[in-house]
């Protein structure tokens, strides 16, 4: 099998392609096509869930990343033994179905557009919230650290331990432990409500600005290093990202975060909510 060509970066939610191969996924069937609009769960940073939808009329119960070695063996998800995009490997979108389809057959692929739109809204809001959080915490750094694309200390990248996109929002967890303190960050007297207020004020302005959002896509393959861009009032923001997004911040209608700080666990949790679904 050849590496799967993906069309979800351009916003497509439907297509037609040839069944290029079938791999076992437990008792289920992993259907691989030449070209797909489906966004699979990424095995390296599983923040955005897989798309829902159908292939050849069959429900897609899961959609995962696969990698085929030059010997023909296919590995799925966390079992992939090489780095993302490793040469000599075919990188596959594997559509998991309860029933098989014949190899070589043409199949229609249809992504649930409402679910995709809700995840896209949540993912864009997640990036905006991270940038706004960086700005709100900028004064707590005592040493120089790598800046984000807007020139502020990149707290998000320095402290994040997990990120999960949900329909219309996200949940991000940051560790404020010893290693972050060594980098120069101070969590002393951190008031999560005050920080959230600053983040939300900036988010309100960014949504109102209707800033255009785009994905920089260097190639059609699944493992292409895509980058999210947003032309915010402060400047052009960019974050490496393989997910899906809205086209303007005004499509979000409203974004709000809440912060919870657990000093005993050295953990800061940010929950981001989009108040209205994308139409």
Say if pTM beats, i.e. exceeds, 0.85.
yes
Strand partners, 97: 29
Q: Are residues 88 and 124 in the same domain?
A: no
CA distances from 18 to 15, 22, 56, 59, 258 (A): 10, 11, 10, 17, 45
Cβ–Cβ under 8 Å, residues 30 and 101: no
Phi, psi at residue 118, to the nearest 5°? Answer: -70, -40
Number of structural domains in the chain: 2
Q: Are residues 106 and 151 in the same domain?
A: no
How far, in Å, CA of 259 to CA of 172, rounded? 10
Cβ–Cβ under 8 Å, residues 199 and 257: yes
Domain of 256 in residue numbering reads as 114-275
CA distances from 79 to 20, 76, 83, 201 (A): 21, 6, 11, 43
Q: Name the one residue in this structure whose structure tokens are 């691989």.
A: 32
pLDDT in tens, the chain (279 residues): 999 999 999 999 999 999 999 999 999 999 999 999 999 999 999 999 999 999 999 999 999 999 999 999 999 999 999 999 999 999 999 999 999 999 999 999 999 999 999 999 999 999 999 999 999 999 999 999 999 999 999 999 999 999 999 999 999 999 999 999 999 999 999 999 999 999 999 999 999 999 999 999 999 999 999 999 999 999 999 999 999 999 999 999 999 999 999 999 999 999 999 986 444
* Closest alpha carbon to 49 in 57, 60, 33, 35: 60
Q: Are residues 61 and 123 in the same domain?
A: no
Q: Which of 92, 111, 130 is the last residue of a domain?
A: 111
* Closest alpha carbon to 169 in 129, 204, 133, 121: 121
Q: Are residues 94 and 214 in the same domain?
A: no
Q: Which of 57, 76, 111 is the last residue of a domain?
A: 111
| CATH number of the domain within which 27 lies | 2.40.30.130
């Amino acid at each position: 099998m050849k590496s799967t060509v993906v069309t979800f970066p351009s916003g497509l939610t439907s297509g037609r392609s040839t069944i290029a191969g079938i791999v076992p996924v437990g008792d289920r069937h992993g259907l691989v096509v030449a070209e797909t609009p489906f966004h699979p769960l990424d095995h390296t940073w599983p923040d955005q869930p897989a798309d829902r939808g159908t292939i050849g009329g069959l429900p897609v119960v899961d959609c995962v990343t696969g990698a085929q070695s030059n010997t023909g063996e296919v590995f799925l998800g966390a079992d992939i033994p090489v780095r993302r995009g490793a040469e000599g490997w075919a990188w596959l979108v594997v559509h998991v179905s309860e029933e098989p389809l014949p190899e070589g057959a043409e199949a229609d692929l249809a992504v649930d557009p409402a679910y995709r739109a809700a995840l896209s809204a949540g993912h864009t809001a997640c990036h905006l919230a991270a940038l706004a959080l960086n700005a709100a915490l900028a004064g707590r750094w005592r040493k120089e650290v790598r800046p984000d694309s807007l020139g502020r200390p990149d707290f998000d990248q320095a402290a994040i331990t997990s990120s999960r996109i949900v329909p219309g929002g996200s949940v991000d967890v940051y560790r404020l432990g010893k290693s972050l303190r060594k980098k120069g960050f101070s969590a002393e007297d951190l008031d999560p409500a005050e920080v959230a207020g600053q983040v939300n004020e900036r988010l309100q302005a960014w949504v109102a600005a209707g800033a255009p959002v785009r994905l920089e896509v260097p190639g059609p393959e699944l493992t292409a290093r895509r980058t999210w861009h947003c032309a915010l009032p402060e400047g052009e923001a960019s974050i490496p990202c393989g997910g899906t997004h809205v086209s303007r911040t005004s499509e979000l209608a409203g974004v709000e975060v809440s912060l919870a700080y657990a000093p005993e666990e050295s953990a800061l949790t940010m929950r981001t909510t989009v108040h209205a679904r994308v139409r």
